[in-house]
Amino acid sequence: MSRQRVLVIDDEENMRHMLITILRKADYEVQSAADGLEALDQIEHYNFNYILCDIRMPRMDGMSFLRQAKERYPEKTIIMMSAYGTIETALEAMKEGAYDYISKPFKTDEVLLTLKKAEERERLKKENLELRTRISEVEKKYSFQNIIARSEVMARVFDIVGTVAQHKTTVLITGESGTGKELIARAIHSSGPRCSCPLVTINCGSIPENLLESELFGYKKGAFTDAFKDKPGRFEEAHGGTILLDEIGELPLALQVKLLRVLQEEEIMPLGGVGSKKIDVRVLASTSKYLEEEVKRGRFREDLFYRINVMGIHLPPLRDRRGDIPLLAGYFLNMFNKKLEKNIEGLSSEAMSILMGYKWPGNVRELENIMERAALLTVGRWVTPAELPANMNQMNKLPSFLNPEDGLSIREASKRVQRHLIEEALLQTGGNRTKAAALLEISRPMLISKIREYGLES
């Protein structure tokens, strides 16, 4: 790694000599200038990482140098120094683009600490610039509206989306709440030949059962009290386009029969109507429920399940694709920068570590909400742990069986993890060793051996 180069600008020779000595001992490469004009000439010929500049100097003072340097080299990190410092002077320097301000006389540690802070800032800027570049590359590669991902599992999802979008095939999109099922549905619609026609969404769990049928299929005048005129249903509104039946697992059994007929015959019967009406609609369905289990329990029709599950797309939870978290966080932060008219550069290393260690029960939707909260609260250039919800820091702590106070040996930690998992598997299976071995994905003899090794025999 190359040494960091610093330019010291001060008209006092003793001060220049002192700073050069301090910085060279700290392994910086140092050059000096006696005033602003000499410094501008040096900047034209050498690339300096950081600049320490006095304010009161002959020919060109520090504030004049700061203005010209920032105009010519806006990326430079400039730290101002003065023995005549006031709060007003410091504020003026920061307003003109200085990174920081040090009052003379200063201690050696103060100079070095300020430079270390500047180095950390530059490192974070570089990391976030790389992150934004990767976000841009990913957006080009996987351009499905606001869906951002780089994980292999999501790449396979995008491949399926690109294939099914071109056909009228019914698609069932599954996954936990907040994983982006509606975004995938919108991507299928907008990427296919029906994109110029409407995409109609209806949440099957948010509408009362007695109203849901008329919402789906419409009604005729006089079909019930207050039916003063014909009203088309959502299927009719989606004619020529796509309908998304969100949370289809909440659909009442009586309506499941009628929906099955619509899917098979491609025609609807409005409430109070005497004849059916042909429709041309591409059907997408989504659910956070495990429909195969619902079928077994008699809460979802088996024939309807197979009819909507012609092509299945499963969206994994965010905790199973943690590689997407930095990209998504950066994407949402850029989005809220524009929305809130802010200029936050990115997340600190500590904040990103917390995001990576969190379990994300609310998935991508929760990450988006947390980044909006962080953008609102952040007053500096970086999102820190202070802008993240307190429970995220608590949940990010190591479990008790991985307590670092017990030592940092990987071998011993591995034993503690194994013991904990075996105890948990035996607890969940009521002590059934065959089932516990299956849960742990090891053989029964190996489980018995481990039980003896860890003294878990009861």
Same domain membership, residue 374 and residue 291 = no
Same domain membership, residue 309 and residue 177 = yes
User: Which tokens is 296 given?
Assistant: 């077994």
Domain hosting residue 414, numbered range: 403-453
What phi, psi does 323 have (nearest 5°)?
-65, -20
Q: What is the pLDDT of residue 200?
A: 95
212-226, 228-242, 430-444 — most confident range? 228-242
Which range, of 29-43, 87-101, 183-197, averages the lowest pLDDT?
87-101
- Domain membership of residue 340 (yes or no) is yes
- Domain membership of residue 9 (yes or no) is yes
Same domain membership, residue 297 and residue 167 = yes
The mean pLDDT of the chain is: 86
Asked whether the beta carbons of 270 and 227 are under 8 A apart, the reply is: no
- Domain membership of residue 135 (yes or no) is no
Same domain membership, residue 339 and residue 434 = no
55-100 pLDDT tens trace? 888 888 888 899 898 888 888 889 888 876 667 777 888 888 888 8
Cα(119)–Cα(130) distance, integer angstroms: 17
14-28, 123-137, 215-229, 361-375 — most confident range? 361-375
Same domain membership, residue 305 and residue 167 = yes
Q: What is the pLDDT of residue 400?
A: 57
> Which of residues 403 and 183 earns the better pLDDT score?
183
Strand partners for 77? 50
Same domain membership, residue 323 and residue 281 = no
Same domain membership, residue 332 and residue 218 = no
Q: What is the pLDDT of residue 367?
A: 95
Same domain membership, residue 326 and residue 257 = no
> Which of residues 216 and 139 earns the better pLDDT score?
216
Please choose, from the candidates 3, 48, 51, 52, the residue with its C-alpha nearest in 3D space to the C-alpha of residue 24: 3
Q: What is the pLDDT of residue 377?
A: 94
Q: What is the pLDDT of residue 175?
A: 93
pLDDT at position 404 over 70: no
Looking at the 3D structure of the chain, how many domains does it have?
4
Same domain membership, residue 184 and residue 80 = no
- Rg of the chain on CA atoms, in Å: 32
Spell out a b/e string for 173-195, using b for 16 or more CB atoms within 10 Å of the CB, else e. bbbbebbbbbbbbbbbbebbebe
Which range, of 244-253, 270-279, 406-415, averages the lowest pLDDT?
406-415
144-181 pLDDT tens trace? 556 777 788 888 888 899 899 999 999 999 999 999 99
Confidence of residue 418 (pLDDT cuts 50, 70, 90): confident
Cα(211)–Cα(228) distance, integer angstroms: 16
What phi, psi does 5 have (nearest 5°)?
-105, 130
Same domain membership, residue 244 and residue 331 = no
CATH number, domain containing residue 430: 1.10.10
Cα(68)–Cα(66) distance, integer angstroms: 6
Q: What is the pLDDT of residue 373?
A: 95
- Domain membership of residue 144 (yes or no) is no
106-136 pLDDT tens trace? 888 888 888 888 888 888 877 777 776 766 6
> Which of residues 374 and 323 earns the better pLDDT score?
374
Question: Percent of the chain scored above 70 by pLDDT?
Answer: 92
Confidence of residue 289 (pLDDT cuts 50, 70, 90): very high
Cα(449)–Cα(457) distance, integer angstroms: 10
Where does a domain end: 284, 316, 348?
316
Q: What is the pLDDT of residue 142?
A: 47
Same domain membership, residue 442 and residue 335 = no
What phi, psi does 226 have (nearest 5°)?
75, 5
- Domain membership of residue 131 (yes or no) is no
Same domain membership, residue 172 and residue 32 = no
- Domain membership of residue 11 (yes or no) is yes
Which range, of 178-182, 356-360, 383-387, 434-438, averages the lowest pLDDT?
434-438
Q: What is the pLDDT of residue 143?
A: 45
Which range, of 22-31, 111-120, 139-148, 191-200, averages the lowest pLDDT?
139-148
User: What is the rounded average pLDDT of the residues 277-301?
Assistant: 93
367-402 pLDDT tens trace? 999 999 999 999 888 999 999 998 887 655 555 555
Cα(371)–Cα(294) distance, integer angstroms: 35
Give me the half-sphere count of Cα atoms (radius 13 Å) on the Cβ side of residue 292.
Answer: 3
Question: Percent of the chain scored above 90 by pLDDT?
Answer: 37
Cα(251)–Cα(202) distance, integer angstroms: 11
